[in-house]
């Protein structure tokens, strides 16, 4: 199968489509799933879902994720890791290639990323006004994580803390979507969302394997760079075990309904990715199936759990 073509200026002559494509819209799906899971958790708790609030929450969560994607491209271009990445597996690793291929300038990319994050602020203030003040904390924490993942001085991914940031970020997506409807904090979205957030973190984790040489050369000391390719394979296993072990524990403790165990079915995809990673970790060109399976596992787990929690017969007593 031929590899997807990288973006070029000739292929994106329309400025609107150019800037839209720079956000990497295909990868926003995990945030879409996270919002659905948060809404489903609220519904499972017996809360009537407000369609308008749900729509606004979803739209601006996607915009925040888009902004974080573009900010990541901007700072990875500044560090030189994307430019030096010859083993990238596009479109999964090595950035969007918009800067490297001359589709957008470095300056335009930075402005776009920060503008997208800035637009989220007034929407968050409005949602806080119609929900509760606690949403402000969730929103600020989410924006801070999205920015600090790539941007100095924190550069969490470069310090080997990227997986913690991603787990926190996508757990906040679930908690925030639930909070807008519930108007309060609760443990339910943590019970439903932590496993999903860990699986999203594994997507970012496995993407570091093809990029390991470029990252190391640019001083981007991700966990895979710090551990080395061979030892880092165990990190994928550990994150996956925690991700599937959490909802199992929540069912056993009564925080999730028994049918939530259906959300463990995507473990088959994670195992398939694990097997491919184990044998091909040092051969980036052979890792693409594992990258795809990891994305599938995260999305399928979140969707299955959202469906289960949305069903009337699974509602909390």
93 φ/ψ sector (left φ>0, alpha ψ -120 to 50, else beta):
beta
The answer to whether 151 and 114 have CB atoms below 8 angstroms apart is no
Its pTM stands at 0.96
Q: Is the pLDDT of residue 317 over 80?
A: no
pLDDT band at 312 (very low <50, low <70, confident <90, very high): confident
**Is 6 among the domain residues?**
no
Q: How many domains does the chain have?
A: 1
DSSP string, 1-45: -PPPPPP-TTT--SHHHHHHHHT-GGGGHHHHHHHHHHHHHHHHT
pLDDT digits (tens, 9 = 90+) for 168-192: 999 999 999 999 999 999 999 999 9
11 φ/ψ sector (left φ>0, alpha ψ -120 to 50, else beta):
alpha
pLDDT digits (tens, 9 = 90+) for 93-135: 999 999 999 999 999 999 999 999 999 999 999 999 999 999 9
pLDDT at 3: 65
Find the DSSP H helices in the chain: 15-22, 29-44, 51-79, 106-130, 134-148, 162-182, 188-206, 212-217, 223-227, 229-252, 267-280, 288-310
CB atoms within 10 A of CB 147: 19
**Is 262 among the domain residues?**
yes
**Is 96 among the domain residues?**
yes
pLDDT at 313: 72
The one-character DSSP state at 287 is -
Kindly state the tokens that stand for 65: 């994720």
Kindly report the CATH number assigned to the domain that includes residue 119. 1.10.600
pLDDT at 2: 55
Cα–Cα distance between 188 and 255 in angstroms, integer? Answer: 7
The angle at the Cα of 65, spanning 64 to 69, to the nearest 5 degrees, equals: 120
**Is 309 among the domain residues?**
yes
Cα–Cα distance between 222 and 296 in angstroms, integer? Answer: 23
Kindly state the tokens that stand for 240: 């996956």
**Is 123 among the domain residues?**
yes
Domain limits at 187?
A: 15-314
**Is 49 among the domain residues?**
yes
Cα–Cα distance between 254 and 232 in angstroms, integer? Answer: 34
Per-chain mean pLDDT for the chain: 95
**Is 131 among the domain residues?**
yes
**Is 103 among the domain residues?**
yes
């Amino acid at each position: 199968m031929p590899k997807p073509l990288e973006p070029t200026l000739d292929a994106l002559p329309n400025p609107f489509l150019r800037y839209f494509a720079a956000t990497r819209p295909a990868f926003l799906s995990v945030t879409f799933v996270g919002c659905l899971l948060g809404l489903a958790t609220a519904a499972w708790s017996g809360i009537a879902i407000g369609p308008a609030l749900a729509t606004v929450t979803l739209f601006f969560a996607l915009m925040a994720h888009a902004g974080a994607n573009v900010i990541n491209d901007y700072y990875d271009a500044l560090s030189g890791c994307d430019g030096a990445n010859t083993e990238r597996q596009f479109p999964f690793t090595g950035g969007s290639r918009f800067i490297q291929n001359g589709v957008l300038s470095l300056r335009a990319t930075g402005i776009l990323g920060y503008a997208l994050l800035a637009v989220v602020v007034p929407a968050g203030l409005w949602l806080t006004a119609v929900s509760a003040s606690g949403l402000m904390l969730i929103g600020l924490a989410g924006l801070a994580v999205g920015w600090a993942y790539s941007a100095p001085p924190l550069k969490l991914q470069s310090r080997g803390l990227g997986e913690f940031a991603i787990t926190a970020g996508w757990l906040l997506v679930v908690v925030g979507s639930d909070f807008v409807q519930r108007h309060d904090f609760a443990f339910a979205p943590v019970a439903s969302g932590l496993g999903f957030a860990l699986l999203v973190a594994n997507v970012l984790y496995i993407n570091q394997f093809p990029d390991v040489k470029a990252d190391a050369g640019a001083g981007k000391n991700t966990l895979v760079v710090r551990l080395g390719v061979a030892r880092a394979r165990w990190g994928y296993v550990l994150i996956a075990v925690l991700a599937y072990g959490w909802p199992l524990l929540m069912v056993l403790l009564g925080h999730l309904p028994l049918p939530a165990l259906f959300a463990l079915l995507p473990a088959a995809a994670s195992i398939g990715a694990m097997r491919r990673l184990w044998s091909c970790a040092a051969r980036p060109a052979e890792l693409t199936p594992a990258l795809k399976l990891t994305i599938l596992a995260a999305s399928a787990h979140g969707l299955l759990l959202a469906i289960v929690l949305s069903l009337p017969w699974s509602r909390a007593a």
